[in-house]
Amino acid sequence: MAENCIRVQNLLKSYKDLTAVNNISFDVRKGEILGILGPNGSGKTTTLKSILGLIEFDSGSVEVNNLSIKKQRNDILKSVGAVLEGARNIYWHLTPMENLAYFAGIRGLSKRDIAERAEYLLDSLKLSDVANKEVRQFSAGMKQKCALACSFIHDPSILLLDEPTLGLDVEITRTIMTWLRHVVEKEGKTIVITSHNMDFVESICERILIIRKGEIVSHETVKSLKEKFSKKHFLIDLAEEPQSTLMDRISTLGEASLSDKTLRIELKTVESLIPLMKAIEESGVRMLNFRTVENDLEDIFLEVIKEGKQ
């Protein structure tokens, strides 16, 4: 098993009468992409900012590369990059090249030190053509890519991203996803991402941490989470709206609901499939289409959040 590079233990942060993060513990392994999911106000950003030492937590500990964030923050920051609140993290009146030079400079790296890396980042994020244009002229996606490049200019081993795809279109999201995958697979970086974009998280993260009201309600690999919570249900398109007698009859077979002329049913047992078909046939309603659907990460997320427990 890979070595841990971030260790959060019993992290607690509260403000007056609100507990933002309630005694949470988790590890991040070297070379993995960990996703942190949770509804608004669940404590995702507070957790990220605590790891970066931007928020002073009440109790617990955060260690990055075996260094304590409270005692050795400056050493930790040499190997950590972050994009918090997206494209606002960069200067819009500067060009991407100037932003890169500035954020390298405040880390003590000269333009000469970062020349090669800046070129690589601009090229790999498809920003070379606009390297000398003011960021304010860019689309949200390009600004976000520029912020990513800046957070990566000092070649950190760990990258923390808060909502990296918020408000971005599918194409840019895909570009960012491919790039992040590349830096993990080829450069061995570790990434922690908070996001609301379930497709993005599902396709990029190996493990997912689900937080609700400051508490971890699930911490598993995407695969095991899906295995545990995955449920099949059937969607049946009918030619006309069925009578309530049909709904009463099939509700004994499983959890059923009707939306327009589409019947959704989650059967108690597979054996109930034959009685279901029979009931529809006997009702005289013609069946147009029948398909099996597996619930996606969004359904699982909602279920986990609803239950508040694994």
Residues that bind another protein (CB under 8 A): 15, 20, 46, 49, 52-56, 74-75, 77-78, 80-82, 84-85, 88-91, 93-94, 98, 101-110, 134, 150-151
Tell me whether residue 43 or residue 141 sits nearer to another protein (CB atom): 43
Give the distance, in angstroms, between the CA of residue 61 and the centroid of all CA atoms in the same chain: 23
**Nearest distance from residue 145's CB to another protein, in Å?**
16
Tell me whether residue 115 or residue 287 sits nearer to another protein (CB atom): 115
**Nearest distance from residue 241's CB to another protein, in Å?**
50
**What is the C-alpha separation between 236 and 303, in angstroms, rounded?**
23
Q: How far is CA 49 from CA 52, 124, 196, 294, in A?
A: 5, 27, 18, 35
**What is the C-alpha separation between 222 and 206, in angstroms, rounded?**
6
Tell me whether residue 109 or residue 177 sits nearer to another protein (CB atom): 109
Looking up tokens 């390009």, which residue turns up? 142
Tell me whether residue 88 or residue 306 sits nearer to another protein (CB atom): 88
Contacts of 97 (CB under 8 A, 6+ apart): 118, 122, 131, 132
**Nearest distance from residue 147's CB to another protein, in Å?**
9
Tell me whether residue 101 or residue 253 sits nearer to another protein (CB atom): 101
Within 10 A of 292 (CB to CB), how many other CB atoms are there? 8
How do strand 158-162 and strand 4-15 relate by DSSP bridges?
unpaired
Residue type, position 90, single letter: I
**Nearest distance from residue 45's CB to another protein, in Å?**
9
User: 3-state SS string over 94-158?
Assistant: CCHHHHHHHHHHCCCCCHHHHHHHHHHHHHHCCCHHHCCCCHHHCCHHHHHHHHHHHHCCCCCCE
Tell me whether residue 93 or residue 291 sits nearer to another protein (CB atom): 93
**What is the C-alpha separation between 289 and 14, in angstroms, rounded?**
52
Tell me whether residue 31 or residue 105 sits nearer to another protein (CB atom): 105
**What is the C-alpha separation between 70 and 9, in angstroms, rounded?**
13
**Nearest distance from residue 18's CB to another protein, in Å?**
11
Q: What is the DSSP letter of 288?
A: E
297 and 202 Cβ atoms separated by less than 8 Å: yes
**Nearest distance from residue 50's CB to another protein, in Å?**
10
**Nearest distance from residue 135's CB to another protein, in Å?**
11
**Nearest distance from residue 196's CB to another protein, in Å?**
19
Tell me whether residue 92 or residue 234 sits nearer to another protein (CB atom): 92
